[in-house]
Amino acid sequence: MSSDEFNMIMNPVIEVILKRQSIRSYDARPIPKDVIYTIIEAGNQAPSRGRVSEGSNEILFQPWRFVVVEDQEFRHKLVQTTLPIWKKSTEAMKEINPEMYENIMMQFDSMEEPKDMVYHSAPVIIFVIGLADFAVSCALACENIMVAATSLGLGSCYVGFGAMVTGNAEVVEALELAEGERIYGPIVLGYPDEESSALASFRPTKKKPKIKWIKEQ
C-alpha cells in the first residue's frame, strides 16, 4: 500500500503546517506584544515528558524557558559573537558546494550594514532555553512556536548559528544560562519582506513519506 493511494485531508491546522517555511528576510515592522506572547504560549503548550507535584496538583514538567530579544544593542552583540563563526563555516563550503557558496556570498555582499546573516535582522529573536536532557521536549516547543507564527501571518526561522553565543560572557549572563541548560534555536520572528530575493525563504519540496503499514491479518 503506497502513499499514492490516499488523499490528504485538509483543515486550517494542516494548511498552516504546509505553509510554514524558513524566512530569512524581514521588514522593520515591530511585532505586537500580544502576538509574541501568544506564540510563546503555543510553545509552552508543547508536550514534554515527566510530571511534578505542586501542592495537591500534579502538573506537566516544562523543561524550557524563553528569552525574547528586541533590543538593538543586544542584537548587535549577538551578531558580533556569531558572525565570525558563520564566516568560518561558510568558507568551508567553498570547496564542497561552490555554487551555494557564491550565492550566499552574493547575498552577504549586497546586505546593508550591519550585515546579519545569522539572525537576518529579524525584529524579534526568541531563545528557547531548556535542560540538556530534554532535547526532544524543547524541540517540540520550537516547532509549536514556528507553526503558531505562521498562523498569525509571521515568518520564522530556526537559526542554529544563533545558539553559538556561549563564548561571550556578557551574552551568557544576559540569557542567564545555567549549568545543564542549552539553547534550542533560537527562532527569529518577523513580517516577511515581500520584496526580498528567493534566497530569503526556503522550503524544499518534500518527498512522499515512507510508510510501512503493519495491519491486522
Rounded to a whole number of angstroms, the distance between the first and last alpha carbons of the chain is 14
pLDDT of residue 202: 56
pLDDT of residue 112: 80
Yes or no: say if 48 and 137 are a contact pair by the CB < 8 Å rule.
yes
Q: pLDDT tens digits for 71-82?
A: 999 999 999 999
pLDDT of residue 197: 46
How many other CB atoms are there within 10 angstroms of residue 85's CB atom? 14
pLDDT of residue 19: 94
Strands 181-190 and 201-202: unpaired
pLDDT of residue 115: 87
Share of the chain above pLDDT 70, in %: 89
pLDDT of residue 213: 87
Yes or no: say if 162 and 185 are a contact pair by the CB < 8 Å rule.
yes
pLDDT of residue 49: 80
Residue 83, Ramachandran bin (φ over 0: left; ψ between -120 and 50: alpha; else beta): alpha
d(CA 166, CA 169) in angstroms, rounded, equals 7
Q: pLDDT tens digits for 80-90?
A: 999 999 999 99
pLDDT of residue 100: 87
Average of pLDDT values for 22-42? 96
For the chain, state the CA radius of gyration: 19
pLDDT of residue 96: 87
Q: pLDDT tens digits for 152-207?
A: 999 999 999 999 999 999 999 999 999 999 999 899 999 999 776 444 555 678 88
Average of pLDDT values for 147-152? 98
d(CA 115, CA 76) in angstroms, rounded, equals 10
Instruction: Kindly indicate the confidence band of residue 58, based on its pLDDT and cuts at 50, 70 and 90.
Output: low
Supply the pTM of this predicted model.
0.87
Pick the CATH number of 24-49+63-192 from 3.30.499.10, 3.40.1280.10, 1.25.40.10, 3.40.109.10: 3.40.109.10
58 vs 137, more confident = 137
15 vs 25, more confident = 15
d(CA 165, CA 144) in angstroms, rounded, equals 24
DSSP letters for 112-123: PSSP-SSSTT-S
pLDDT of residue 3: 63
pLDDT of residue 12: 97
Domain assignments of the chain as residue spans, ordered by start: 24-49+63-192
How many other CB atoms are there within 10 angstroms of residue 188's CB atom? 27
- Side-chain-facing half-sphere of 60: CA atoms under 13 Å: 10
**Which candidate, 75, 104, 112, 111, places its Cα nearest to that of 87?**
104
